Structure 1
Amino acid sequence: MSIFSKIVSGEIPAHKVAETADFLAFLDVSPLVMGHVLIIPKKEVDYIFDMEDELYSGLTLFAKSVAQGVKKAFPCKKVGVAVIGLEVPHTHIHLIPMNNVSDMNFAKEKLKPSQEELAEAAEKIKAGL
């Protein structure tokens, strides 16, 4: 069971920003920038292109709606989208508020926000949805 499946089941807490029967959006605890959100299907599928078409398209539409809330909460030029999928064997989409390309550099040092800062960020995004 992946760490993301443990978040879905409630075994591990997360700062959730949106949820449906099939999908979950929550803050990355080691974000590149504040407002960095992870979008996952609740069904554990390792590789995004192994997903069934209906689940894949639903995940994409869910990400689109969450991205609108991210942009309202964290004003930026665009919300960047990345799918890497090497660290956690559970499909996930990164939504990252961007003002320049370096905001999407996964090699740079991650932020270490407090639980209070994450909770505040999650509330801002929820308010923007």
Structure 2
Amino acid sequence: MASVFTKIINGELPGRFVYQDDEIVAFLTIAPMTQGHTLVVPRAEIDNWQDVEPAVFGRVMEVSQLIGKAVCRAFGAERAGVIIAGLEVPHLHVHVFPAYNLTDFGFAHVDNNPSAESLDEAQTKIKAALEALQSSAS
């Protein structure tokens, strides 16, 4: 059975995407630790990060770094947090989020009911930051 992330990637469930390429996607989580909390996910359904091919893991981390730069730029954070938990959804994903202090690093403090407006605002800000980062790299 397809994971919830595969269903989001395939368009069977809604997702607020901020990044997509042939191998990797990034979309906002519905339970953010901070506004802008993004999940970086390979299109291939891989359960455990320890089982992923090194080249694919490298791409996941490359995109995670790009998303980290974008969320810092979009939300004025000095740091981006990164977590690989791998417990709730059996599909490799990296949590990337604006981190302002150590209390941001905890799933106990997630917003389980973020407003659509907050998610839309985060999506818009991250996409704009990504566009700015990519155009300055060219």
Query: TM class by shorter-chain length?
Result: over 0.9
Matched AA of 1:30: A
State the AA in 1 paired with 2:27: F
Measure the CA separation in 2 of the matches of 1:14 and 1:55: 22
Q: Secondary structure at the match of 2:98?
A: strand
Q: Percent identity over the alignment?
A: 38
Deviations 1:51-94 (A, max 9, x none): 01110111110111111111111111200000000000000000
Structure 1 equivalent of residue 35 of structure 2: 34
8 Å contact from structure 1 (residues 33, 111) kept in 2: no
Alignment of 1:38-77 (within 5 A): 38-77=39-78
Of the structure 1 ranges 103-112 and 113-122, higher mean CA displacement relative to structure 2 is found in 103-112
Residues 4, 84 of structure 1: alpha-carbon distance in 2 compared, 3 angstrom cutoff: same
* Gaps in structure 2 of 5+ consecutive residues: 131-138
Provide TM-score, normalisation by structure 2: 0.90
1:32–1:111 Cα contact (<8 Å) kept: no
Alpha carbons 1:47, 1:90 under 8 Å: kept: yes
What is the CA–CA distance in structure 1 between the aligned matches of 2:118 and 2:38, rounded to whole Å?
14
- 1:25 is paired with a residue whose SS is strand
More helix by share: 2
Aligned residue pair count: 129
**Any unmatched runs of 5+ in structure 1?**
none
Superposed CA RMSD:
1.0
